Structure 1
């Protein structure tokens, strides 16, 4: 089993990584943690460090893949499409991601990236508040 946990550095995305770790341990799964950004900066390093901290000291059998994927632009719906691309490329079985409301009423429940992934219905998704 392969689990993908996209992160944006928010508290809810770090909680999602913690949940993804528990899921990976329980099902002896391979964990992929990914952050999308338009460039690598100190801020992206902080996001990845927060994810490493959430993973440190857990009972994972193998070191999770932790990566930064650079995009030219990173609006939420584009990130959602990139997550779905990774699902297909890496043959992911489950996505675990955080959400926080932003913008329109439709996105008050799910962030636009989470909304894009959930609506696609091609992979099971656990959304962590």
Structure 2
């Protein structure tokens, strides 16, 4: 039976390392790459870039997520993995844990932190929440 992996992926350096680990160690797996658009994170990024247009921020964030996932999916496909991608919006830990249940995942592989700054603190706590609450094994890549 093919192992079903979930890789939460945001394009950060540690997410890239998690991706590399999956490509090296799980090349025969079915992998779901999940990008979670966090509305709270958008507020922090908006301060640096200027406030986003309330009607288009989600569309822009989703487009960026899909581009990020496309590159990651190509890397895994080249390694021999069967890959699907998903973009969800919400609190990252909740969306990751929901994906574990909804997609019948066997194993989660994720980076210990995501993006830098305040988002890094939030995503660091995301890894901890997933590790503590996941009903399946979780590998945290540093």
TM over 0.5: yes
Q: Is it true that 1:48 corresponds to 2:61 in the alignment? A: no
Where 1:57 maps in the other structure, the secondary structure is helix
The correspondence of residues 1-129 of structure 1 with structure 2, limited to 5 A, is 1-25=3-27, 28-37=28-37, 38=39, 39-41=58-60, 42-60=63-81, 63-69=82-88, 71=89, 74=90, 78-100=91-113, 111-129=124-142
RMSD between superposed Cα atoms in Å: 2.4
Contact 1:9/1:50 (CA < 8 Å) preserved in 2? no
- Which consecutive unaligned segments of at least 5 residues does structure 2 have? 40-57
2:47 corresponds to which residue?
A: none
Q: Is the 8 A contact 2:73 2:84 kept in 1?
A: no
Deviation at 1:20, TM superposition (A): 1.8
Which of the two has greater helix per residue? 2
Q: Name structure 1 gaps, 5 residues minimum.
A: none
1:56 Cα deviation (Å)? Answer: 4.7
Deviation at 1:126, TM superposition (A): 0.6
- Distance in 2 of aligned mates of 1:115 and 1:83: 12
Confirm or deny: 8 A CA contact 1:14 1:54 kept in the other structure.
no
Q: Is the 8 A contact 2:35 2:69 kept in 1?
A: yes
The TM-score with structure 2 as length reference comes to 0.68
SS at match of 1:34: strand
Output the CA distance in 1 between the equivalents of 2:83 and 2:16.
Answer: 15
Q: How far, CA to CA, are the matches of 1:44 and 1:89 in structure 2?
A: 20
Aligned length: 115
TM-score normalised according to structure 1 size: 0.74
